[in-house]
Structure formats: structure tokens, C-alpha cells
Amino acid sequence: MIFLTRRATFSASHYYWNDTWPAEKNQQVFGRCANRNGHGHNYTLEVTVAGEPDAVTGFVVDLKWLKDVIDREVMAAYDHRHLNLEVPEFASINPTTENIAIAAWRRLQPAVTAAGGARLSRVRVYETPDIFAEYRGEA
């Protein structure tokens, strides 16, 4: 079994806010991230698939295909976007690094599974070089 990873980056805006809380509590819990004008990051997404290298090509998956999947399923929706305002899965939950990792997994898994051969193994999202979240799927 080989774990093959491709990294991609996207630039997006976000904020953290809970509508059921008064503004003061949002400020207290989310600090500067509660600024409703939004702030942004250069996110790095690492997508890992697991499988056996093909005997002829030596590929677990074709990395150009994997790049296309990442572009179509994640980059097209997240890059140069305001995550809270333009990405459906963050309409009602905060686009934290944790939740972005889960959401990117859910966007990628159907395409990886449909292709057969390799399975999605891990999605890691860096909000900054010093903060990252990793999701490996349910159980």
C-alpha cells in the first residue's frame, strides 16, 4: 500500500460567527475572527489517496487526474471565494480549519471512489504554516 499526496493552495475569506449569540459573546469567543467583514488566508490542501501502484504505469492514481479532481471539486468552489457567503456547506457552520478539512473530504470522496483503484485516505488543510487540521473519514 502506497499513500500518494498532492498539495494545492487556495486563497479565501472567512469569519467565525454564531447567529444565536449576541455580538458580545461572538467577540469573546471568536476574537478578531468575529470581524464580519472577513479576513483571509492562503490555505494549503493536502489530498492523500491510498492504493497499489499500477504494474504498468507505476501510478497509484494519475496525478494529473488527481489535480483535475481537486480543481473541479474543491478549488472551483473555494478559491478566491468568501467561504461563509459563497460556499453552501458553510452557510450555517463556521469555516474553521477543522470543518474545511471535513468538507473537502466530502467533496473529494465521491470522485475518488467512483474512479476505483485507490481510496481517499487523508485530507489535511493548513490555514497558516502553523495551524492545520486532518481528517481521515468516518471510523
Catalytic residues: 33, 80, 127
For residues 113-132, which are near a copy of itself according to CB under 8 A?
A: 128-132
104 contacts a copy of itself (rule: CB under 8 A)? no
Task: Find the shortest distance in angstroms from Cβ 74 to a copy of itself.
Answer: 15
> Residue 24 burial by CB count (10 A; 0-12/13-18/19+): exposed, middle or buried?
exposed
Cβ–Cβ under 8 Å, residues 16 and 39: no
57 contacts a copy of itself (rule: CB under 8 A)? yes
Kindly list the distances between the CA atom of residue 72 and the CA atoms of 2, 34, 62, 95, 111, in Å, as whole numbers in the listed order. 24, 30, 15, 20, 10
Going through 1-139 in order, the beta strands assigned E by DSSP cover 2-14, 39-51, 81-82, 119-128, 131-135
The site for a copy of itself, by CB under 8 A, has a size of 63
91 contacts a copy of itself (rule: CB under 8 A)? no
1 contacts a copy of itself (rule: CB under 8 A)? yes
Task: Find the shortest distance in angstroms from Cβ 113 to a copy of itself.
Answer: 20
Cβ–Cβ under 8 Å, residues 47 and 123: yes
- Angstrom distance (rounded) from CA 3 to CA 48: 6
Q: Which amino acid is at 27?
A: Q
Over the window 15 to 44, marking each residue x when it contacts a copy of itself by CB under 8 A and - when it does not, the resulting string is -x-x-x--------xxxxx-x-xxxxxx--
* Site residues for a copy of itself per CB under 8 A: 1-9, 11-14, 16, 18, 20, 29-33, 35, 37-42, 53, 55-60, 62-64, 79-82, 85-86, 93-99, 101-102, 128-136, 139
